[in-house]
Structure formats: structure tokens, C-alpha cells
Amino acid sequence: MGASLLRASSLALALLIATAAGARAQSDVGIAIAGLVSLQPVNHSWVGSPYLDKGIGGWRPGLAIGANLITDHGFALIGELSTTAAFEQFQTGRLIWANTDRLSREGSATTRLRDTLISGLVGYASSTATPRVVFAGGLSYVHTTLTEDDLVVEDQTEFGLEGKRRFALTGGIDIFQRLSSRVALVIGGRYSWLGRPEVADQTGAGEHIIRVGAGVRIRIN
């Protein structure tokens, strides 16, 4: 799966760079890397005895890499990949199928959740004055891995839409503060909504993904 993600992200970045190559010289083409924090609220729908003692969520550090194009008219095109360390929670209850007790019918396991997003966004950039603000929105392909005691519960790349969801709606904002003619500090945030299938809901995995980060952008043209 890691190789597939790498190929998909490489293809997305290659397409973006190819598009940039055909743009006029006035366009601003750059690559960016940023550290981030991902906030994922718990879904409490199934939390409560005897089903689930607690849901999985909270915050985790992560990394985002991407490329972007801003034309002289302010049109912005962004391609990026972001991922995080796995969320981790020890859980007990009837909805945990690992290590099930025959009498109580309750299981117990350490649940781990990781969402990797490959996003394609379009939007508008403010004038070239610094700081420059970019507003964008679009779709994200989501690769979700969910395990209980390292046994896979759900791998979202095996699913499609409506009960098989692999796409999320994503929107966000980036602020560029120029440090030199080619280097800028970038501070940004993304919000993604992912309607998870029931098997993920039953671990308390939430449908809201909020990522905030800071890093650098290097202009390459």
C-alpha cells in the first residue's frame, strides 16, 4: 500500500508540474514542506457501556508535502500529501472484536488509526503583496488504516463511496510570508469531512479532520 501511495502522490505532483510548465512566465510555481498537527474529534455515537468504553481521536503530529501554482490572475492550483503518526487508544467493549471474552462478549484491544490524504485543490490567491493569502477547496483521496492489536479492521483503499468511502471534501487557507525572492514561510490549515463506514464509526473514529501546520515554500520558476 505504501508503494501505491507513493506512486499516486508522485503522479499527482508530476501532473501539477507539467501544468506549471505550460503556464506563463509570470506564474508562481513552488514546492512546500510543512510540519503539522492533526486534530480529529472523537465520534461518540457508540461510546457507552456495554458497546465501547471510549472512542479514538485527539491530536497527532504529522507532515505535509506539496506543489502549487499561482497564476498572475490569482488562480491557484494545489496538490499535496499529508499524513500523521497513528492515533492510538486502548479500548474495551462489545464492538471490539479482538480478544473477546465468551461470557461478557466484550473485547479489548489497542486500536490504531491513521488517515493519509492526497489532495487536489483549486482556489484564489490575493494580490502579490506580502503576506499573500490563498483560499482553496477540492477533494482528497483518503487512505485509512484501522487496526486492533495490529490486525486490520478497515483499509479504506478497498472501498468506494457510500459505505465504502475513500474521498473527503477538503478546504483550507495558506498564508505566505516572503523571506527572500524564492523562499517564503507558509502557515496553513485544512479541514476535511469524511463520512466513515459503520465499522470505523464503531471504534469512535470521527468524520472531521483538522490539520494546521507551518513550513517553507520554495519558488522554482
Cα(49)–Cα(39) distance, rounded to whole angstroms? Answer: 26
In angstroms, rounded to a whole number, what is the distance separating the alpha carbons of residues 177 and 56?
Answer: 36
Q: Say what percent of the chain tops pLDDT 70.
A: 81
User: In the numeric block, which cell numbers belong to residue 6?
Assistant: 507513493
What structural domains does the chain harbor?
2-219 (2.40.160.20)
pLDDT band (50, 70, 90) for residue 54? very high
Sequence-ordered list of residues with C-beta below 8 angstroms from that of 13, at least 6 positions apart, any chain: 66, 67, 79
Q: Which of 83, 204, 211 is nearest to 141 (CA)?
A: 83
Higher pLDDT, 101 or 132: 132
Alpha carbons 8 and 14: distance in angstroms, whole number: 10
Query: Residues 55-96: pLDDT tens digits?
Result: 999 999 999 999 999 998 899 999 999 999 999 999 999 888
Chain-wide mean pLDDT for the chain?
85
